[in-house]
A and B are shown apart, each in its own frame.
Chain A
Amino acid sequence: MNNKNKLSREAIAMRVTKELHNGNVVNLGIGIPTLCPQFIDPDKFIMYHSESGVLNYGEMASERREDTNLINAGGQYLSWDNPGMSVFDSAESFAMIRGGHIDVAVLGAYQISTQGNLANWKLTNRKSGNIGGAMDLAIGAKKLIIAMEHIDKKGNIKLVNKCSLPITGSKCVNTIVTDIAVIEIINECMVLKEILPGWGIQDVQEITEPKLIIDKNLKEIQL
């Protein structure tokens, strides 16, 4: 089973972009989510928000034009050239998040439970973790998409009945895009919506702890 094909991190990001719609305000977490913009259909207008205090940023800055005064939450330098960009302070940045003005947040995860609880800020073997903006985004974004590998590097299951790690938010996850499946959380159940060609339902179930509900219109993942 481990020899089966899986989506690359880029391909996961590419699938996530199909969930982002024209005019959406979107916040992208560190990791796979930050790979999304390159795959957006150029006909779609997406306004990206970052906790650092910037809305409607565009490309990363070219190497010669890097400015420590214009960064995203991951510390990457942004370009000054995007028309319609705005900058603001941290209280305002989080008023946008907590106040329900962000349409979609895309984050990574350590564990997700069948209730839609998200754990992504603290590992058990470390005395402290980083929360940053994750707890605000988890409960504040209108839709929360998780982009991640289906199991972790050591083979541990990440889709679980109950999170053993400290949670970031309760009942907050809507959609999970992994390297083998697309799953939606509906009425505290994990519903398998899409599956990677070459993988059977049973193969996905074996590395998913909660009993999957199979969507009537189960499809192959289309990129």
Chain B
Amino acid sequence: MSKIAAVWRREFRQFWLSPVAYIVICVFLVISTWLFMKGFFIVNDASMDQLFGLIPWFFLFLLPALTMRQWAEEQASGTIELLMTQPVSEREVVWGKYLSTVTLLAVILILTVPLTLTVSALSQNGLDGGVVFANYLGAFLLGSAFLAIGGWISSFTRNQIIAFILSIAVIFGLIIVGESMVTIFIGKGASWLVPALEYIGLRQHYGSMQRGVIDTRDLFYYVSVIWLFLYLTTRAVESRRWS
């Protein structure tokens, strides 16, 4: 545990030392608030749907920026050799690194709370607390899944740009396999595949939480995705010893 904390601490501080954290937070808040407010007064409806509807697409481009250097940088600079010869297991390093990005994701989401409170104050009956909580939980789980995937891809390369672009591509692929535009086409040939694809699609489970429904199946889905990709990352890091 203390090793995970040591890795977490180093990685989390890294985000603030190199101004990655500030840049990601500023860009996210400015653009999301702008797009949200643009529609907010036109629709004249005090709801957060606009913001949470956009979040998967923001995360698609912003979160890979947090994970791209995770392993690629260590592999390029050779520090991976020092790290992996410390008395620490691969799993501890993977978890420490992963949790540092999840913490930053939590910080980003917490910083949108003032916006939520503002909207709540502007609405006549206030926002439904349960729905807002489900929204935040959904965004947190969705983002956490993106981060697990991004970290895994970063472990393959020593080039951060490749890690960034490839993460976007893979996450994008995993989002759209469950979208109706894709499943309609596939349904014509192999209709039995459709439920499976809808289950795999990263955004489907987010959608129900966006409507305020917290279903254990959705929670299970995100936890499984995160666990799977952290496991794959651990294996990828371990396999380096046998190269």
A binds B: no
| B interface residues (Cβ-Cβ under 8 A, vs A) | none
Residues of chain A touching chain B, judged by Cβ–Cβ distance below 8 Å, are none
